[in-house]
Copies of this chain bind each other. A is one copy, B any other.
Amino acid sequence: MPALPELSFPDGLIFFSGGGGEEGAAFADALLSLFILFVAAKIGEEVFRRINQPGVIGELIGGFIVGPFALGLADVTITAEVFAELGVVILLFTVGLEVRIDDLIKVGPMAIAVGTIGFILPIIAGVGIGLAIGEDILPAALIGLALAATSIGITSRVLAEMGMLDRAFARVILGAAIVDDILALLAIGLLSGFAEGDLGVDTILTLVAGLAFVGIGLALAPLGRRLPRKIFVWPKFADTPVVPVFIIMFAGALLAQAVGLAAIIGAFVVGLIIAETPVREEVEHGFRSLLGIFAPFFFAVTGANIDMSALLNPELLIIVLVLAVMGVLTKLVGGIAGAWKLGKWNSIVVGMGMSPRGEVGIVVSALGLSLGLISGEIYAVLLAAVILTTLVAPVMLQWAIPRAPRDERHHGGEAGAA
């Protein structure tokens, strides 16, 4: 055996490695790759936040830089994929945790209008562009779907950083982002069914299962208010509700997969239910470090899977720009049309605030790649477009918000509820 690799990872000192050899090497690679991906994600986040850009984009680019399509320092091992999957599961769980059924109902009609218009228009635009570049209808639909859902995570982080969470437009943006998230999650189930060639009963079953899953979740959520805290801490192993809730979240994710849905739908619905229980704050608090450790792997692994060399092709670069511009415009139209009652500038702000696509767009793109619906080139194109819609949002908002009057008619009085 060569001396240097021995020195940097002596087989015998790695427990569980089965005594070194091939499995020991795979274990050492998995552990080291995790560390490199994590550090790269954090450095990327740091750089982006220092230039006032969303950290998730930095995590993505950090992962790309150390990944196999660039420096090749980190492998995307199955272990890294499991960390990434748990990362997106925990992320969507915590998003569900932030949603209040009642708040949703309060801004309901306007949020539904903004969310639905802003969901349908990007799909139409995406399908049009997809067909125009010669894709079939399913890949074209996937391109549209990748541009359809606003990132509730990114949007809320940007609004919080600007200190705007108490404005009426912020509540509408958050509500609409939830609406298009739910629409997107259902559409993902539908599209997966179609893509697997089950155009008949199975697809309908998946759709019904998806609706039933989300429907039952929304129906059960208010019942959560009646659950006493002791239900979550009755196990002796549970000093806090974190471990029991982690098990429930994990089970929800696996259950969603078992009925043919994406794992994140299950985690999101569990989050919605836990949000209504008395343990919400404890869980939110306890999950903060889990989110901090696991979520970066989702973005870093996603970035590591991007073949950016596709973007050196000027034709593809034009498609990126067209997709990004259409992505911003369609959300703007959705905001203005759906939230017109808030006044011109406030509705423009709503539209701009809906612009950042993030985790759902990335998830849809990754799904399309794993289903074989889209090529690695289109995957890179979609992620680049998603990144652009996210990068322009803070700039647009900084320009438009000072123009939006604080007097926000019948919605202005509720400031602070968001």
Contacts and interface: CB of A to CB of B under 8 A. Distances in A.
A370 interface: yes
Contacts of A293: 242-243, 246, 290
B85 A14 contact: yes
Interface string A62-81: 00000000000000111101
A412 to B, nearest CB: 31
B243 A292 contact: yes
Interface string A257-268: 110111100000
Interface stretch (A26-34, A109-117, A215-223, A387-395): A26-34
A312 to B, nearest CB: 24
Contacts of A49: 236-237
Contacts of A81: 15-17, 27
Interface residues on A, range: 35 or more
Q: Is the interface of A mostly helix, strand, loop or mixed?
A: helix
A372 interface: yes
Contact of A287 (B242, B257, B289): B289
Interface string A50-69: 10000100000000000000
* Candidate in A10, A14, A18, A23 with the most chain B CB atoms within 10 angstroms: A10
A235 B85 contact: no
B370 A19 contact: yes
A366 B191 CA distance: 47
A2 B19 CA distance: 36
B78 A242 contact: no
Interface string A350-387: 00000000000001001101111000000000000000
A287 B290 CA distance: 9
Nearest to A9: B257
A146 interface: no
Contacts of A27: 78, 81-82, 85
Contacts of A77: 78
A88 interface: yes
Given A38-B247, A290-B290, A8 B258 contact: yes
A305 B16 CA distance: 9
A12 B258 contact: no
A18 B304 CA distance: 13
Given A35-B250, A45-B237, A46-B235, A84 B16 contact: yes
A192 interface: yes
A292 B26 CA distance: 26
A196 interface: yes
A263 B247 CA distance: 28
A317 interface: no
A370 B24 CA distance: 10
A254 B78 contact: no
A229 interface: no
* Candidate in A30, A79, A258, A371 with the most chain B CB atoms within 10 angstroms: A79
27 contacts: A7-B260, A9-B257, A10-B196, A12-B195, A13-B260, A13-B261, A15-B366, A16-B84, A16-B301, A16-B305, A16-B366, A19-B370, A31-B82, A31-B85, A31-B254, A35-B250, A42-B237, A50-B236, A55-B236, A78-B79, A79-B79, A240-B292, A246-B292, A246-B293, A286-B288, A289-B290, A290-B293
3 closest residue pairs by CB, A with B: A49-B236, A16-B81, A79-B79
Given A7-B260, A15-B81, A46-B236, 9 more contacts: A8-B258, A9-B258, A12-B367, A13-B257, A13-B262, A15-B363, A16-B305, A17-B81, A55-B237
